[in-house]
Structure 1
Amino acid sequence: MASNKDGDPSLGYLTRKDTEVKLPRPTRVKNKTPAPIQITAEQILREARERQEADIRPPKQKITDSTELGDYRLRKRKEFEDLIRRVRWNISVWIKYAQWEESQKDFNRARSVWERALEVDYRNHTLWLKYAEVEMKNKFINHARNVWDRAVTLLPRVDQLWYKYIHMEEMLGNIAGARQIFERWMGWMPDQQGWLSYIKFELRYNEVERARGIFERFVQCHPKVSAWIRYAKFEMKNGEVARARNVYEKAVQKLADDEEAEMLFVAFAEFEERCKETERARCIYKFALDHIPKGRAEDLYRKFVAFEKQYGDKEGIEDAIVGKRRFQYEDEVRKNPLNYDAWFDYIRLEESVTNKVRIREVYERAIANVPPAQEKRYWQRYIYLWINYALYEELDAEDIEQTREVYRECLNLIPHEKFSFAKIWLLAAQFEIRQLNLNGARQVLGNAIGKAPKDKIFKKYIEIELQLGNIDRCRKLYEKYLEWSPENCYAWSKYAELERSLSETERARSIFELAIAQPALDMPELLWKVIIFGNCGKGESLLSF
């Protein structure tokens, strides 16, 4: 059978041309010039709005007799009741229902709706506010009082209810009643604004003594700096300077360590400044700077410097500037307590002021920052804090016992089993010599040799004993020296020179023989040079072999 590839419509086949969908040809725009009248989108929207048909609204119903009014009310109540059954927890529905009953002048039904709503959610203070406003608007004062009284009893922490209740009584001229409500409210210890409202209420009626009594209770309930400052300003406004000062003094006694104490001291000093008591103000500033941590005293320093520039002399201004620099150093050492250079600068500043108490305090704080690692490189800068401290106590403060204590504490702190500092041992011994305490110096140097022997210590100890003419002690020290360091050619040669200077040639020769017998010498050429070219005063060598 021959196949029909293109398809034959007579045989029930569709041709390819029949299945093709022809798209219309895009028309070409012949004239691209703009139209003489342009139509904007705004015009299109406006015309569409104008051609809209009017909304279909229900016709207005005019009630002509009591029957129609009753039907209308019955229909509306049914609508509200059906709506309440569906959304009982929707408070706005209850409010609309009660307000509609109010508009119909059926106040008993309106109250019934409000009471039913309160049974659903009595914690919603909006319901109480709307309920009381309806009673007040329609001049049912006793009903309104009843609503407010129940509201503040059930929700005593909602300040708005108390404010509205008091405002109503005040508008009615019932001042005693408003005061009684305030007293009930204060029993719940509200926030500061509630107490200040009570005070303003009393001041509106010139009850200054009552306001003062409320302030006393206020600062006991809220012992904060801002409350005490308000109290003092109240007394100052009424011209009671002595009372205001007394308030500030009580506040300082109770809140000197509070975080906001800076604000209290500034207010106190400014109060004294306004009263022309500049010395009192200066004492307050200095007391505050001594007691408030430096990190919380920025504003205080700024105020003090400005005060001294206005009222102080040259010394006072310099002291204030020193205080400002002191604050900068405090900030540096607070950020990095191990920055010993900052501590040195801080100490030099305090020493320039020559206040012994402050200087010792800064020294103690500085030496309390012990390096965290027991490695000598970390201690090399730190140890000079102790040295400076001891020198200050000896030379400036002239406190001998304190100087001795500083040296003792420093030597106890150093971990001598890992490393030591010969400088500290020698300074401590020299201090004892200056105090004519030779036994103390020997004890210090003996402890140094026992705990941390060093070349410097041996040399200095031998030098001291040699100056005192104690030859036997020098010999013992040289023996200890050589026991500790038998390879030290310097020690051998100096020991031999000592004996030779005493004309003990045989002892010197024996010392040299012992020296060259040591297995490992650090500088044998030095030793041999002394042996060969040394003489006993007779022009002969010490070499005997």
Structure 2
Amino acid sequence: MSMISKSKKAFLSAPAPLGYVPGLGRGATGFTTRSDIGPARDASDISDERHPKPPRKRGDDDDEEEEEDLNDTNYDEFSGYGGSLFSKGPYDKDDEEADAAYDEIDKRMDDRRRDRREKRFKEEIEKYRQERPKIQQQFSDLRRELASVSEDAWRSIPEVGDIRNKKQRNPRTEKFTPVPDSVLSKGLSNSGSVNTLDRRQQQLGGFQTPYPGSLTGFNTPSSSELDLIRIGQARSTLVGVKLDQVSDSVEGQTVVDPKGYLTDLQSSTSFANADIGDIKKARLLLNSVITTNPNHGPGWIASARLEEVTGRMQKARNIITKGCETCPKSEDVWLEAIRLQPKETSLSIVSQAIRNMPNSVKLWIKAAELEEETISKKRVFRKALEQIPNSVRLWKEAVELEDPEDARIMLSRAVECCPHSVDLWLALARLENYDNARRVLNKARESIPTDRQIWITAAKLEEANNNIAMVDKIIERAIASLKANMVEINRDHWILDAEEAERSGSIYTCQAIIKNVIGVGIEEEDLKDTWMEDAESCIAHNAYACARAIYAHSLTVFPNKKGIWLRAAYLEKNHGTKESLEELLQKAVAHCPKAEVLWLMGAKSKWLSGDIQSARQILALAFQANPNSEEIWLAAVKLESENNEDERARILLQKARSTAPTARVFMKSANLEWCLKNLDGALMLLKEGIEHYPTFAKFYMMTGQIYEQIGNIDKARESYSDGVKKCPKSVSLWLLSSGLELTKGEVTKARSMLERGRSRNPKCPELWLQAIRVENEHGNKPMGKSLMAKALQENPDSGILWAEAIFMETRPVRRTKSLDAMKRCEHDAHVLVAVARLFWSESKVTKAREWFHRAVKIDPDNGDAWAYLYKLELQYGTEALQQSVSKKCVTAEPHHGEYWCKISKRKENWRKKTDELLPLVAATLLAVV
């Protein structure tokens, strides 16, 4: 019973649905007879409309509607069965326009989302590659180490063989089985000859051949077999001779010259069947060309070159000789004939060519090239010039072979024959003296009034003879004359001529060109920007005189533009002299008295040259022009304090606090008192500064550091705590606060401070770095690595984090880590310094020096990079290299760097200059880790 109940269907016990008629599915419906009229079912029966109609057959009428396909494959989420809701209606023009509009909207929406979609896809790909790197990336470090494998190590690697071959994987000892004597005797009998007759042959009488299958009788080889044997012997002999020619035996090894062998292979010409077929077709085609049109020179040349390519040199010479006879006026045919003929016959060919074409310049030049002696070359060119006196190329070739005096005479004749050649006129002017050169250039201007090079050469000539006043006039006349002769003045070409004049030493000519053409063709509103771009371009081309001239002309048009004065000042500072810089700055402050930086540059220039009194005078004038300028006040204070004038500095700071009370003035005042060991006065000034400027972070830093110095840790902690409350974005305050806790052994508090700092300053690599170092220094290296991973995930482009991550790895992994760092931070000085230290640790001094130089070039303000480079030179370099590094460091004046700031900001080092700080910082560095 249980089995029956399990197989019973659930719907059998359910009530019948509404309208159910038993047997309806089997056709049990009412029917009509001939005697009945009307329906055969009761009025209460359900209509057939509630049941689906039978499927339409192929023979139904075409005007009936097609039945819907209720298959699941025909179902759409939005349109239902059978396509769109309106698919059965007519598709008119309005529907087409609506569909086009919707398609355009979909396309525009897709374009708007494209950037986000591509960015999201890129991020997902990068994240996936970080989690699942390619096999190629996993083995990249091993592949790079293959470069260091020696040749002996390569040779010592055993052959693996085919792993699929069991015989190679499991070699067995070879077995040798001796050959039985019966086999040897049989082979001897088959290959030898028999000179006796057996008993049966003797009975038969005579030398009759036995019946087939007999093993007796004469086994003499046939004539064909003898021929094959001889051919084989001769072939082996020939192969042996060839091998002896190309090889020799050294201790049983065959030695072949690979270079010579490859050269022979390249020189040998081999043609496949297809090539030979093509050559035959080409030969037939070219033969048709020279037959149908024998006066066509290129046909003869092509036919000869085809034979040359196929190796039939004599055939090529015969063809081109026939071409010369057929086309005696074709210059190219004669030149090809000269090229194909050997040297001993080419002279006769070229003489014959010149007799047929005496006005061909190329043939005369070819004739001169075939001559070996200079006298013969001169003779050929002179004959050529008699025949073709108006050829500029022949005159140039002939003049190059002459000495200066004969060249001058020839050029005098050349300019008469070729008056429109600028090069000949200029060459003659260079060989003449001053007066004759002026006459030559005047004649050249009359003959060629549209060329600017003649005018520029005239200006250079006047400058070379110290006639400076005429240089500018000549360039002005040149531009006026060229404009009168309808010549376009292209300023770019003229600026290039000015740069060329500077390179040749004609500075005044260069300046005159710039002055007269710099404003040609430029709109008034674009003058300043265009001129600054031209000046930068000239500086990039090392044309400093051109850039100086552009700045000078710009300042005459825009005398009150501070930016132009600054650019000109920096040009003089980097590529000029001290006198030119000071002269320029005097003019600059006269036109721009409110430009503080110009005053400060002038005062610093005087200070560095040792003229302290002049620097004070400049700053005094700057005070008059800018009475409440913070920068000028602080510059005056620095000047006095650096020169041990402490009282004057105090008085200046007191005046500054009364006239221009800024946060920096209070900070510099407290710093001066701190350096002079007046800690109470410094604390008072800091307290006053906090009252005026409560959000200035350096007040809290200095207060805390002073309290640390005197040993009042509670006050220091209180100062730092107040600072992080008022200035939560100050990273240095968080670092000082955590450092204070570390000095007292409160590691947990230090961690807490750093975590709070990171929450207030997200994505701050300095706070992450300090937290990592706290864990590493206290023996929790796994936690440090975990923090480093999080830090790099949050700051993937931080150079200081990558530099620290490199040296957190073991030695074999550091190089791989450095490559990852270079991919992320290729132009970061911290990463470059870390890579240089890696090379240093491997004793690769040249590479380490190169990478340190790259670091200081990218970031010259990084004092740590300079210190590492200086330490490297102290260990491996010469004294000259050490002095060079020190000099460049003084020029760069670095102010940043972890170790640099620790040394430079110590109060005992506050008066020391850059060259004194550099060795102190280098002494504290660890070169190799």
TM-score (norm 1): 0.35
Bigger relative contact order, structure 1 or 2, given CA contacts below 8 A and separation 6+? 1
